[in-house]
Amino acid sequence: MRSLHARAGAVELLAGVEVDLHAGGVLAVVGPSGSGKSTLGLALLGATVPGVALTGSVRVGGTELVGAGRAAPAGRVGYLPQHPGAVLDPLRRVGAVLDEMAAVVHGADRVARSSAVRAALRAAQLPAHELSRRFPHQLSGGQQQRMALALALVTGPDVVVLDEPTTGLDPDTTRALLESLAGLAASGVALVLLTHDHDLARALAHEALAVRGGRVEAQGPAAEVLDVPGRPPMADPAPATTHPRLRARGLTVVTGDGRAILDGVDLDADAGAAVAVIGPSGAGKTTLARALAGLAVARSGVVEVRGTVLRPDALDRDRHGRRAVQYIHQDPRSTFAPHRAVLEQVARPATRLRGRDAGAATAEAVEVLGTLAVDEATAGRRPRALSGGQLQRAAIARALLARPAVIVADEATSALDADHRDELVAVLDGVRREHGATLVLVSHDLELVGEVAGTTVVLDAGRVVDRGPTAEVLARTAPRVVAGRR
């Protein structure tokens, strides 16, 4: 890259970035949400989001990608987006899509295509035969992330751009992914990590680039650029009350072919309390979160909020039932209508669920978004103009506008840098303490769980395998991970 600039109208997204990346090199690009990381990653493919113009030079394998209407040479640059839904076709089985991608390089050679698919799945830590016939909605969030990685690897690229590659992964899978990426680099594949995960960056990267507001703040050896202090611990969780605000009993969710992905799960959470749900990818965490919100319909079991039984399907719940439990999706981009301003969509729960007029709802949305570092001008744009982290914070603001009794946050901090994650946790902590809202936190981030949650539930294969005070559960469940991060 030489003198790379990116503009959206009068707004400068990148200002004169220059990067060299050699075979086998690993570059970490770090910075707060909205700093230009994803724009930089897309530029390596000769691509931008609509409305963004690139100037300068980006050359991959000797081919100039800027200003010539060209894309990266076929199969030579792989890309893992921040949210796997952007590349997984919801109407096609994932194995068929992998085979089609392999054909970009191997054509009609079935043996070579099959070998490439197996190698990509192996590198992404996925079993080849078990998952290849599934549709994306039949995969957990972590499995979707790894399947998107397999799609990026199946063409045998020279360069792979990975936008937040550890999003949605449990610690064991994260370690396995790190080993796979290190192996790719050792084989000569160049990697670009766009990440908030400084632990991952320190473990893999040779060089690092810190950007803020589209400008390079620091560039050089990763050990120097990534030397940042840790976050201060949060205050103790709010004390529990006598009667549970949220009560779930016997929740069971099955697939169309009768396979149980949630099997008789119980969960209690008091007013103002925070309960974490942890476990490996595919354990049923997101299914439990969605069942609490009525987005995954339970075949059996009951969900109560403030002693009122909620209907299992959110579409059948009345306004009070829909308001009672608000779900924050781990892929926020898929939850925003692409052609409407984000601010309008954030304000909508206040009008639909609380009866506020449009002006008051908009003013309240601006205020809540401001506490999450999303200004009114940014929120006035369409979703495609916001970074993943900005959309994540907007999704959280939208949930808060409903003033719910229960907030279910599914990997809600996964797209956020450390500073914005702290801001978010502080906001959620304030909502719990001041308004008595209950927080159910689905997360692979055990450090965050240890800071926020008073109680932790561990799922595996759709069943509760442990529960109790968070410190005790983490000590039993993942002592090496906890010791390594403290």
Which pLDDT score is estimated for 72?
56
CB 372 within 8 A of CB 393: yes
CB proximity list for 289: less than 8 A, separation 6 or greater: 277, 327, 408, 410, 440, 442
Instruction: Give yes or no on whether 2-225 and 244-485 have one common fold.
Output: yes
Model pLDDT, residue 139: 80
Burial class (CB in 10 A: 0-12, 13-18, 19+), 186: exposed
pLDDT confidence of residue 379:
92
- pLDDT tens digits along 365-394: 999 898 888 899 999 999 988 887 888 889
User: Which sequence spans correspond to the domains of the chain?
Assistant: 2-225, 244-485
Q: Which residues contact 115 (CB under 8 A, 6 or more apart)?
A: none
Question: What is the topology classification, in CATH, of domain 244-485?
Answer: Rossmann fold (3.40.50)
Give the model confidence (pLDDT) of 452-469 as tens digits.
Answer: 888 999 999 889 999 988
CB atoms within 10 A of CB 120: 24
Report the alpha-carbon distance of residue 434 to residue 216 in Å, rounded: 40
Mean pLDDT of all residues in 156-184: 78
pTM above 0.75?
no
- Residue located via tokens 């901090």: 413
Please tell me which residue, 377 or 143, carries the higher pLDDT value: 377
Could you tell me where the beta strands, DSSP code E, fall in 190-233? 190-194, 207-212, 215-221
The residue written with tokens 């063409």 in the block is 155
Provide CATH code, domain 2-225.
Answer: 3.40.50.300
Q: What is the per-residue pLDDT for 478?
A: 56
Which range has the worst mean pLDDT, 72-86, 156-170, 345-359? 72-86
